[in-house]
Amino acid sequence: MPAMPLTSAQIRAARALIRWTAEDLAREALLGVTTVRRAELMESETSLTQANDRAIRRALEAAGVEFIDENGSGPGVRLRKPPKASN
């Protein structure tokens, strides 16, 4: 099943978790900073194209963010658990 489009709140929260600026995200996603800022200004759903949504998702996931789809409590984000060290 394809991933649900990101919400503005998810993007803002994901950046906060990894302490990235909008410029950091734009650079890692290969997008303009204006595109990132415009997406974050929306109330909920963004106006991102599918390609830009995927680029932002990939950049944030590569940095350790995990997106949580709507499950009754709303969509969210969290940091991925680090792999357990083998003994």
Report pLDDT digits (tens) over 52-68.
Answer: 999 999 999 999 999 98
In order, the DSSP letters of 17-74 are HHT--HHHHHHHHT--HHHHHHHHHSSSB----HHHHHHHHHHHHHTTEEEE--SSS-
Q: In this structure, are residues 63 and 18 in contact, taking their beta carbons and an 8 Å threshold?
A: yes
Question: Is 90 exceeded by the pLDDT of residue 28?
Answer: yes
DSSP 70: -
Return phi, psi of residue 9, to 5°. -65, -40
* pLDDT value for 35: 96
CA distance 44 to 10: 9
Question: Is 70 exceeded by the pLDDT of residue 85?
Answer: no
* pLDDT value for 18: 95
Question: Is 90 exceeded by the pLDDT of residue 22?
Answer: yes
Please report which confidence band the pLDDT of residue 21 belongs to, taking 50, 70 and 90 as the band edges: very high
Please state which architecture CATH assigns to domain 8-79.
Answer: Orthogonal Bundle (1.10)
CA distance 33 to 71: 30
